[in-house]
Chains A and B, each alone.
Chain A
Amino acid sequence: MTWRFGLTEATFEPLWLTHWVLAATLALPILFGLLGALFSPRRTLPVALVCVPILLTGVLLLMEYQQAGLLRWQWQVAGVTVSLRLGGVSILMLLVTQWVGAAAALYTPGHLRLTNPGKQARWLWPLMGVLISALSLIWLAADLLTLYAALELMGLAAVGMLLLSGKPAALQAGMRYLLLALVGSLAYLLGVALILGYWGQLNLQALAEVVEPGPVAWIAAALIGAGLALKAALFPLHGWLTPVHESAWTPVSALHAALVVKASLFILLMLWNILLPSSLFAPRFVAWLGMLAIVWGGLVAWRSDSLKTLVASSTVAQLGYLMVAFPLIIGPDIPPLPKALAWEGFWLQLIGHALAKAAMFMAAGNLILATGESSLKGLAGTSRRLPLSLLIFGLASVTLMGLPPSSGFTAKWLLLQAMVMTQQWVAVVALLMGTLLTAAYVFRVFRYSFDETAPRHHYQPLAPSMDLVALALALAAFALGLLAHLPLALLQGGGV
């Protein structure tokens, strides 16, 4: 199974050009972020110009991967081995990170121009740069030390970004998030300590060869799992998520829900795959929690009165779909076909959700900014005045609901197929219920917004770039269902 994460030997050495591209991938976002703090751009064009080289590095790495297959790097720094690898999943998530990051960056100038948040806004750029770099490093890292450093860097940058709005509610939610994330990372570190003490390995590939199931692996997996689940807002540990999004800026929320929680989930899946290759109970436990998450998140979103709470709670439910796939991916005695289907469904769901949730947060942010109200009732009459924002919201929710031909549909189809093959009927029921609940809370938004009798308010006009970026993301999530073979071909490469 570890070949799926690219933890195998590489056939070719990376070329010297590839070294530079890798360095640029990791360093350029921070560099441009610092430039952003210096110049604090108010227009979209300079931001777009800066995004081009970063996106270019991703495309170059993709081409390199398609030519040479898996790539590995290893350096000795002061006696410590740092290793990176570029496998199918890494390059896919790297591209998603760069494109969603670019979309959030392009959205930001318009948002800042309209909201006028004051001087602290310039700090958004370096934090965003650090976040993108740290995320890229997480997808590439192949040893526990690099993973830990990148995870912490990402977490601190994310907390910093969420605090920028400066409201007391944001500060309080941010403080809670900071403390929980820090304690979560200590639990992760203790798990790593166990691994290092017992097997003496930090390198994932070497670790996968020496690990044997036993109490140490279980305790380490439990500690790492608890820490990362806290950071990824997996179901019973998701309490911090909604308040954090409630008062954050729109592009920050979009980045956080799309990428930050997914990174912890990715590390969790990868490490459990190594530590618990044949455990029956742990992945089942996660799957049961995932089913509860689908129902609970859907119900909370359905009952909520605030648009942002609705979108944030929907993240809890959508993460539930990913948790349900755990026993199919890392459980024992799953036949190869359902395993491959669940693997594809997992990543398609993750990417589709990243794109759609970023679009949804942006559309919701646009609606809230234009109407000046954050409650669902405040949306009354928006169907006439803000049809484009509402259309984007609708397109994104089509993906979340999983209606054809969106990526949500394809992902759920793959997951359902795998579940039916392995006869996990409860999971099938949970998946279908989740779809119904998603439809219920999405249509609640539309019921308020199509209220034609509402009095006319004054609406704040939006910058065109804000709607365009959100629309592009929503359309990408939609089109990914039809073009699913492109990312899935990447996922299956690099081995077998």
Chain B
Amino acid sequence: MIASFNLIEGGLALCLCVAALACLFDRHLLRASCLFVVFALFMTLAWWWLEAPWLAVAELILGALLTGASLFYALRAYRPNGAASSHRANATPHYDSFRGSWPHGLTRALLALAWCFMMWGAIRFVMPEMVYSPAEHPLVMAAVVIAATAMGAFALHHHLLRRLLAFNILGSGVFLLLAGMAGTEEGAQALISVGLAIAWLGSLLGALLIRHLFLLEGKNALSLDSQTKEQPQ
């Protein structure tokens, strides 16, 4: 009985990881947004599994429905409407073709690793039993992997929509970690609900911004952001 339960939880953790990684590293933006919705649905299942039905409802409404809708709303900006829609170039803005240099990627990977170690160190103290049997809490393991990768991806990507996606997935990873470390008592549930609402509001604001930026400046404006980020002003 216990083994089968662990199997379900392990499978859920694996699905979460795969969906998150695919969403973070898919260059096709529409597909990545769909993957995010799938990820949010898996998160809903995870909350259900952790016996937090209200969080599952909140995740379903705020995470999957509303955040997903915001992302698709932002994506509509890339489709040249009206006259240009007949053109074949229709599909290109859906694709992030920016290629970073490899030192950039390497430093971001190191950042993700450092972040991963830091979270692992934190978990070691709060959940000492994790050190001896890490496989017993597959969801927490998944949360560490997801949060670390998302942090790296957030720093790595230049495209604003991909950074927004990375933020959302990082948020989900942090919420899962919170639930793993503090349990799903009322205080933790309230923190996560506030976090979900804020993440949705932030995504909505970000989506509005991306759309406005695209309408004003064209698609080049959407990946300029991190070019100037490294130079302190």
Q: Note whether A and B form a binding pair.
A: yes
Cβ-defined contact, B206 with A80, below 8 A? no
Cβ-defined contact, B194 with A178, below 8 A? no
Beyond A175-B210, A175-B213, whether A182 also contacts B122 by CB under 8 A is: no
Among listed A29-37, A185-193, A401-409, A427-435, interface-contacting one: A185-193
Beyond A156-B201, A159-B205, A190-B119, whether A196 also contacts B182 by CB under 8 A is: yes
- Say yes or no: is A493 at the interface (Cβ < 8 Å to chain B): no
Cβ-defined contact, A183 with B225, below 8 A? no
Cβ-defined contact, A168 with B191, below 8 A? no
Among residues of B, the one whose C-beta sits closest to the C-beta of A149 is: B194
What 0/1 pattern do residues 175 to 190 of B give for CB contact below 8 A with A? 1011001110011101
Cβ-defined contact, A171 with B195, below 8 A? no
Could you tell me the distance between the alpha carbons of A159 and B183 in the complex, rounded to whole angstroms?
Answer: 32
Partner of A216, one of B122, B154, B160, B186: B122
Beyond A197-B126, A219-B122, A300-B233, whether A148 also contacts B188 by CB under 8 A is: no
Cβ-defined contact, B199 with A215, below 8 A? no
Could you tell me the distance between the alpha carbons of A491 and B167 in the complex, rounded to whole angstroms?
Answer: 39
Among residues of B, the one whose C-beta sits closest to the C-beta of A187 is: B174
Interface size class of B (residues with CB under 8 A): 35 or more
Could you tell me the distance between the alpha carbons of A229 and B177 in the complex, rounded to whole angstroms?
Answer: 22
Q: Which residues of B contact A156 (CB under 8 A)?
A: 198, 201-202, 205
Greatest chain A CB density within 10 A among B181, B198, B205 is at B198
Partner of B181, one of A197, A222, A243: A197
Cβ-defined contact, A189 with B191, below 8 A? yes
Cβ-defined contact, A182 with B202, below 8 A? yes
Could you tell me the distance between the alpha carbons of A156 and B216 in the complex, rounded to whole angstroms?
Answer: 22
Q: Which residues of B contact A220 (CB under 8 A)?
A: 122
Cβ-defined contact, A80 with B167, below 8 A? no
- Say yes or no: is B24 at the interface (Cβ < 8 Å to chain A): no
Q: Which residues of A contact B212 (CB under 8 A)?
A: 166, 171
CB-CB contacts below 8 Å: B204-219 with A:
205-206, 209-210, 212-213, 216-217
Among listed A59-67, A87-95, A234-242, A341-349, interface-contacting one: A234-242
- Say yes or no: is B114 at the interface (Cβ < 8 Å to chain A): no
Cβ-defined contact, A193 with B177, below 8 A? yes
Cβ-defined contact, B209 with A171, below 8 A? yes
Cβ-defined contact, B209 with A175, below 8 A? yes
- Say yes or no: is A145 at the interface (Cβ < 8 Å to chain B): yes
A interface, over-half SS: helix
**Using a Cβ cutoff of 8 Å, how many contacts connect chains A and B?**
140
Cβ-defined contact, A239 with B232, below 8 A? yes
CB-CB contacts below 8 Å: A142-189 with B:
144-145, 148-149, 152, 156, 159-160, 163, 166, 168, 171-172, 174-176, 178-179, 182-183, 185-186, 189
Cβ-defined contact, B187 with A196, below 8 A? yes
- Say yes or no: is B125 at the interface (Cβ < 8 Å to chain A): yes
- Say yes or no: is B46 at the interface (Cβ < 8 Å to chain A): no
Could you tell me the distance between the alpha carbons of A186 and B194 in the complex, rounded to whole angstroms?
Answer: 12
Q: Which residues of B contact A236 (CB under 8 A)?
A: 232
Q: How many residues of A contact B (CB 8 A)?
A: 52
Could you tell me the distance between the alpha carbons of A227 and B190 in the complex, rounded to whole angstroms?
Answer: 20
Could you tell me the distance between the alpha carbons of A222 and B118 in the complex, rounded to whole angstroms?
Answer: 10
- Say yes or no: is A208 at the interface (Cβ < 8 Å to chain B): no
What 0/1 pattern do residues 217 to 233 of B give for CB contact below 8 A with A? 10001001100110111
Cβ-defined contact, A171 with B198, below 8 A? no
- In the assembled complex, the CB of B144 is this many whole angstroms from the nearest CB of chain A, namely 11
- Say yes or no: is A294 at the interface (Cβ < 8 Å to chain B): no
- Say yes or no: is B171 at the interface (Cβ < 8 Å to chain A): yes
Partner of B122, one of A194, A200, A242: A194
Q: Which residues of B contact A238 (CB under 8 A)?
A: 232-233
Cβ-defined contact, A175 with B206, below 8 A? yes
What 0/1 pattern do residues 209 to 232 of A give for CB contact below 8 A with B? 000001110011011000000000
Q: Which residues of B contact A194 (CB under 8 A)?
A: 122, 126, 181
Cβ-defined contact, B174 with A190, below 8 A? yes
Cβ-defined contact, A216 with B125, below 8 A? yes
Among residues of B, the one whose C-beta sits closest to the C-beta of A193 is: B178
Q: Which residues of A contact B118 (CB under 8 A)?
A: 219, 222-223
Task: Please report A residues at the B interface, Cβ cutoff 8 Å.
Answer: 78-81, 144-145, 148-149, 152, 156, 159-160, 163, 166, 168, 171-172, 174-176, 178-179, 182-183, 185-186, 189-190, 192-194, 196-198, 200, 202, 214-216, 219-220, 222-223, 236, 238-239, 241-243, 300, 309, 313
List 19 interface pairs A-B (beta carbons < 8 Å), by A numbering: A145-B190, A145-B194, A156-B198, A168-B221, A179-B160, A179-B163, A182-B171, A182-B198, A189-B175, A192-B191, A193-B174, A194-B126, A200-B182, A202-B187, A216-B126, A219-B125, A223-B118, A223-B122, A236-B232
Task: Please report B residues at the A interface, Cβ cutoff 8 Å.
Answer: 118-119, 121-122, 125-127, 151, 154, 160, 163-164, 167, 170-171, 174-175, 177-178, 181-183, 186-188, 190-191, 194-195, 198-199, 201-202, 205-206, 209-210, 212-213, 216-217, 221, 224-225, 228-229, 231-233
Q: For the complex of A and B, list the 8 residue pairs with the smallest distance between their C-beta atoms, beginning with the closest.
A: A197-B181, A79-B186, A193-B178, A196-B182, A197-B182, A197-B126, A242-B233, A152-B198
Known: A172-B225, A182-B202, A196-B178. 14 other contacts (CB 8 A): A145-B194, A152-B198, A172-B221, A175-B225, A178-B206, A196-B187, A197-B181, A219-B121, A219-B122, A220-B122, A223-B118, A239-B231, A239-B232, A243-B233
